[in-house]
């Protein structure tokens, strides 16, 4: 299908949703655009989404074209109110679904159900199942209600790049390729939604997120299969069922490594810098000082983040606090993009405990690194 990549993309800043007529008029216009088959990027509580009418196969095809996304990687369908679930889902809603919806919707949790035939195959990448989310973000909810149709929306980035957490990221990837961008400021969570598959015998966690495995376990009283994407779960004979999981994701242009022993990072960074590489380090407030000390001193602060340091060929980016991992989640994708702009050749990222939101952070980091994990002694690869 022909698709224009040099259209005019309008960016509309929304302030307090509901407070002024201007916002309402913009949301109404954006909703009408979506209903008629256009593409509109919008904020959610997780990352920015690229929205299209979920019932319109041609509009779904436009999403794949604009993102350069493989057509077998299905989209998540967003609803604006609980009552609209039957529009996209086939059959009854089971007990686990009811529990999870009551507890976590609206919010950053996507559930997989059998697909209603009304939803075209183009939206679900040819699958007989459909991923559904009811977002909490007020702009997202109102946009869906104004559109009057469920909105199919993957993350609003070029396929394979880090997901967008600000409007600047969306513009960077999609300017000229989509009709409108709603600017709602920075998103809160910064990582994509948790995905749970409810179409099998037991619920399966397909992608960890801000609704954590522990929260799901607690709600479901232990009836949750482990994350199929985590190292070690291959031995359980589980296969990743989220088709998107097979693609390299969230990837910066540099070669990236996740370093299990944070203490090894300064040495790794220094030897790479000494061999002439431009090095980026992703660390936290707690570890930045130690890395600074080893990698040299007398450097000036550069880049918008106050704690970033530039030491000759080594750029240290502090993305949040270990003591509050939600700050790391919020800072991660933006930091990967920043390091791309700085043109680093190699990135060493600190690792995190695989629990709570740490599991989602590690999932995205390891994917961004294409599976490169340096564990135990420095230089030894998992």
Residues engaged in binding ligand AMP (CB under 6 A)? 73-74, 76, 112, 124, 127, 129-131, 154-155, 192, 195, 206, 241-245
Closest approach, Cβ 226 to Mg ion, in A, equals 22
25's CB contacts (< 8 A; 6+ apart) are none
Task: Evaluate the CA torsion angle 233, 234, 235, 237 in order and state its sign.
Answer: positive
* Residue 212 contact, options ligand AMP, Mg ion, none, Cβ 5-8 Å cut-off depending on partner type: none
Coil/strand/helix, residue 68: coil
Closest approach, Cβ 156 to ligand AMP, in A, equals 9
Say how far apart CA 115 and CA 126 lie, in whole Å. Answer: 10
Q: Quick check: 155 binds Mg ion (CB under 5 A)? A: yes
121: its two tokens: 């195959």
Q: Pick from 131, 84, 127: which is nearest to 112 by CA?
A: 131
Binding residues for Mg ion, how many (CB under 5 A)? 2
Mark the segment that binds Mg ion (CB under 5 A) among 25-33, 151-159, 271-279, 330-338.
151-159
Closest approach, Cβ 151 to Mg ion, in A, equals 15
The answer to whether 321 touches 365, Cβ cutoff 8 Å, is no
302's CB contacts (< 8 A; 6+ apart) are 308, 309, 310
Q: Would you say 141 or 309 has its CB closer to ligand AMP?
A: 141
Closest approach, Cβ 157 to Mg ion, in A, equals 6
Closest approach, Cβ 347 to Mg ion, in A, equals 20
Q: Would you say 129 or 155 has its CB closer to Mg ion?
A: 155
Closest approach, Cβ 178 to Mg ion, in A, equals 15
Closest approach, Cβ 288 to Mg ion, in A, equals 29
In the sheet that holds 279-283, the strands lie side by side as: 309-311, 314-318, 279-283, 346-350, 255-259, 373-374
Q: Would you say 60 or 346 has its CB closer to Mg ion?
A: 60
The answer to whether 184 touches 14, Cβ cutoff 8 Å, is yes
Mark the segment that binds Mg ion (CB under 5 A) among 11-19, 73-81, 146-154, 358-366.
146-154
Minimal CB distance residue for ligand AMP:
244
* Residue 243 contact, options Mg ion, ligand AMP, none, Cβ 5-8 Å cut-off depending on partner type: ligand AMP
**Parallel, antiparallel or unpaired: strands 204-207 and 279-283:** unpaired
- What is the DSSP code string of 87-132? HHB-S---HHHHHHHHHH-SSSEEEEEEBPTTS-TTTTTT-SEEEE
Return the ∠ at Cα 348 (arms to 254 and 212), rounded to 5°.
100
Q: Would you say 112 or 315 has its CB closer to ligand AMP?
A: 112
Closest approach, Cβ 66 to Mg ion, in A, equals 13
Minimal CB distance residue for Mg ion:
155
The answer to whether 144 touches 77, Cβ cutoff 8 Å, is no
Mark the segment that binds Mg ion (CB under 5 A) among 77-85, 147-155, 208-216, 366-374.
147-155
Residue 118's Cβ-count burial label (10 Å; 0-12, 13-18, 19+) is: middle
* Residue 242 contact, options Mg ion, ligand AMP, none, Cβ 5-8 Å cut-off depending on partner type: ligand AMP
Q: Would you say 125 or 154 has its CB closer to Mg ion?
A: 154
* Residue 131 contact, options ligand AMP, Mg ion, none, Cβ 5-8 Å cut-off depending on partner type: ligand AMP
Q: Would you say 192 or 292 has its CB closer to ligand AMP?
A: 192
* Residue 241 contact, options Mg ion, ligand AMP, none, Cβ 5-8 Å cut-off depending on partner type: ligand AMP
Instruction: Give the torsion through C-alpha atoms of 94, 96, 97, 103, to 10 deg.
Output: 140
Instruction: Please report, for residues 250, 334, 367, the alpha-carbon distance to residue 337 in angstroms, rounded to integers and kept in the order given.
Output: 10, 5, 15
Q: Quick check: 363 binds Mg ion (CB under 5 A)? A: no
The answer to whether 361 touches 191, Cβ cutoff 8 Å, is yes
Closest approach, Cβ 45 to Mg ion, in A, equals 15
The answer to whether 280 touches 254, Cβ cutoff 8 Å, is yes
Q: Would you say 155 or 327 has its CB closer to ligand AMP?
A: 155
* Residue 74 contact, options Mg ion, ligand AMP, none, Cβ 5-8 Å cut-off depending on partner type: ligand AMP
Please count the other Cβ atoms lying within 10 Å of the Cβ belonging to residue 345: 16
Question: What residue ranges bind Mg ion (CB under 5 A)?
Answer: 154-155
């Amino acid at each position: 299908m022909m698709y224009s990549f040099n259209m005019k993309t309008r960016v509309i800043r929304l302030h307090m949703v509901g407070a002024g007529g201007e916002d309402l008029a913009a949301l109404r216009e954006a909703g009408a655009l979506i209903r008629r088959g256009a593409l509109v990027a919008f904020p959610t509580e997780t990352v920015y989404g690229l929205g299209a009418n979920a019932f319109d196969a041609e509009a779904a095809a436009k999403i794949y074209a604009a993102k350069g996304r493989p057509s077998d990687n299905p989209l998540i369908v967003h609803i604006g109110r609980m009552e609209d679930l039957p529009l996209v889902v086939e059959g009854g809603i089971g007990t686990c679904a009811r529990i999870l919806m009551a507890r976590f919707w609206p919010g950053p949790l996507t559930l997989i159900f059998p697909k209603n035939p009304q939803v075209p195959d183009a939206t679900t990448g040819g699958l007989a199942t459909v991923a559904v989310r009811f977002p909490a973000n007020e702009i997202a909810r109102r946009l869906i209600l104004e559109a009057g149709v469920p909105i199919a929306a993957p993350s609003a980035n070029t396929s394979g790049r880090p997901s967008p957490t600000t409007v600047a990221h969306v513009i960077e990837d999609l300017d000229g390729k989509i009709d409108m961008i709603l600017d709602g400021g920075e998103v809160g969570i910064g990582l994509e939604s948790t995905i749970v598959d409810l179409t099998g015998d037991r619920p399966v966690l397909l992608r960890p997120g801000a609704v954590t495995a522990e929260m799901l376990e607690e709600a479901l009283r232990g009836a949750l299969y482990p994350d199929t994407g985590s190292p070690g779960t291959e031995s359980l004979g589980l296969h990743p069922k989220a088709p998107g999981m097979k693609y390299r994701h969230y990837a910066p242009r540099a070669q990236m490594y996740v370093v299990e022993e944070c203490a090894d990072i300064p040495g790794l960074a220094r030897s790479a810098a000494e061999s002439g590489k431009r090095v980026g380090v992703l660390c936290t407030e707690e570890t930045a000082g130690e890395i600074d000390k080893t990698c040299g001193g007398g450097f000036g602060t550069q880049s918008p983040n106050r704690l970033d340091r530039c030491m000759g060929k080594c750029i240290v980016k502090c993305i949040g606090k270990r003591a509050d991992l939600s700050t790391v989640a919020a800072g991660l994708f933006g930091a990967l993009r920043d390091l791309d702009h700085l043109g680093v050749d190699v990135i060493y990222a600190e690792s995190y405990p695989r629990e709570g939101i740490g599991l989602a952070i590690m999932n995205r980091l390891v994917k961004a690194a294409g599976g490169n994990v340096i564990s135990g002694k420095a230089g030894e690869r998992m």
